[in-house]
Chain A
């Protein structure tokens, strides 16, 4: 059953990666990154069960913490860019200043 979970995790990760590549909206790109992080978490949890040790779950927990911090800062950046440019498209944010 571990293989099944790993395959599902790989599929979800791939979907997230494709989403990051094809979407232009910064918020959707962010959500796709979250999907990729969640997919790796699933792999960690499946491996944790396979090995019979809880370390994989601890790593998944840390991934969640880092993802939460990343979301907070990233969304604040999106808001700041939206304020100055009135757009959340990544194509418009080609300059970091002005």
Chain B
């Protein structure tokens, strides 16, 4: 513990640095090159966790925990929620809107990075003062709290503090209070943006039953798995004559069963249902004849569907 508090160059630190630097840079690169959004989010979690370790090594234990709790715990989970709502399966198109934009962006980015690192390499940095003195009086959290909330006249030990004391600046209390206004505004803004006004009145039970009588299907749809071998949601029900009831499986699930995670993007429920039933049929027929047949059966069923139309 004393070695960590000492603030000098520790022997273990460079090892931690090199391992985690490679991990975090690789994860960051993977994040921007992954086609799937969920992979990007999980790789960002890797970067953030390694940054938390960096904070801990840099004598900022409070920030390390806040990094894990706020970033990895809250922000990234919020990202994952939104990804699940927007559609896990949505892959982005690789068509460039502006021609040559990717190459230009990559060149500009590499140039920017080289400039930054050259600038840092040229700078002469003083030897690290270490935070052992700042963290000594009650620890890191107490030190931060003293800076945030209190007047810090009594620990004007280092130059920054001495400057602040001489200018009679009372910590960061005002910025902290402004932060609360920012957070409230953000919460309100999120509520306003996420709110959806109902355009049509909510259908009453009477209207729903009238619509059902008017439609072809008066009875409820058959549940999946009825008379079938399993009762999983992706197992279609069997009709009395042994044939498959295509209506019993949700089209979204049926599409997933086929391996093409398309959800309902870019197509109406009608076409999704048509695709879905074709896939269900294909999977069922494929189970008997082997996996190779699935593709053929799928194309055949979709073709026969087209012919029927």
Interface set of A (CB-CB < 8 Å, partner B): 1-8, 10-19, 21-25, 27-28, 30-32, 34-35, 38, 41-42, 45-46, 48-55, 57-58, 60-62, 64-73, 75-80, 82-83, 86-89, 91
B218 CB to nearest chain A CB (Å) = 32
A5 to B190, CA, bound (A): 35
Question: Which listed residue (A12, A19, A72, A91) contacts B97, Cβ 8 A?
Answer: A91
Interchain residue pairs with CB less than 8 A apart (9): A19-B32, A21-B101, A28-B40, A38-B48, A72-B189, A82-B85, A86-B265, A89-B93, A91-B97
> Across the interface, which residues of A come within 8 angstroms of B179, CB to CB?
62, 65-66
> Across the interface, which residues of B come within 8 angstroms of A45, CB to CB?
54-55, 58, 60, 63
Contact in complex: B86, A88 (CB < 8 Å): yes
A80 to B28, CA, bound (A): 28
B256 in contact (CB, < 8 A): no
Contact in complex: A49, B193 (CB < 8 Å): no
> Across the interface, which residues of B come within 8 angstroms of A89, CB to CB?
92-93
A69 to B282, CA, bound (A): 48
Question: Which listed residue (A31, A57, A71, A79) contacts B194, Cβ 8 A?
Answer: A79
Residue of B nearest to A1 (CB): B9
With A15-B32, A79-B82, A88-B90 as contacts: A73 and B193 at CB distance below 8 Å? yes
> Across the interface, which residues of A come within 8 angstroms of B113, CB to CB?
10-11, 13-14
> Across the interface, which residues of A come within 8 angstroms of B147, CB to CB?
54-55, 58
B228 in contact (CB, < 8 A): no
Residue of A nearest to B52 (CB): A38
Contact in complex: B9, A48 (CB < 8 Å): no
B280 in contact (CB, < 8 A): no
A87 to B161, CA, bound (A): 51
Residue of B nearest to A46 (CB): B58
> Across the interface, which residues of A come within 8 angstroms of B25, CB to CB?
8, 11-12, 15
Residue of A nearest to B40 (CB): A28
With A52-B129, A69-B186 as contacts: A22 and B102 at CB distance below 8 Å? yes
A70 to B182, CA, bound (A): 10
A91 to B94, CA, bound (A): 12
B60 CB to nearest chain A CB (Å) = 5
B143 in contact (CB, < 8 A): yes
Residue of A nearest to B18 (CB): A4
> Across the interface, which residues of A come within 8 angstroms of B187, CB to CB?
72
A75 to B105, CA, bound (A): 25
B227 in contact (CB, < 8 A): no
Q: Which 3 A-B residue pairs are closest in the complex by CB-CB distance?
A: A52-B129, A14-B113, A18-B109
Max chain B C-beta neighbours (<10 A), residue from A8, A13, A24, A66: A8
A77 to B58, CA, bound (A): 36
Contact in complex: A52, B86 (CB < 8 Å): no
* New contact pairs (11) apart from A21-B108, A23-B92, A79-B194, CB-CB < 8 Å: A10-B116, A15-B109, A18-B32, A27-B79, A48-B58, A49-B58, A49-B130, A55-B160, A68-B74, A72-B186, A78-B86
A42 to B48, CA, bound (A): 10
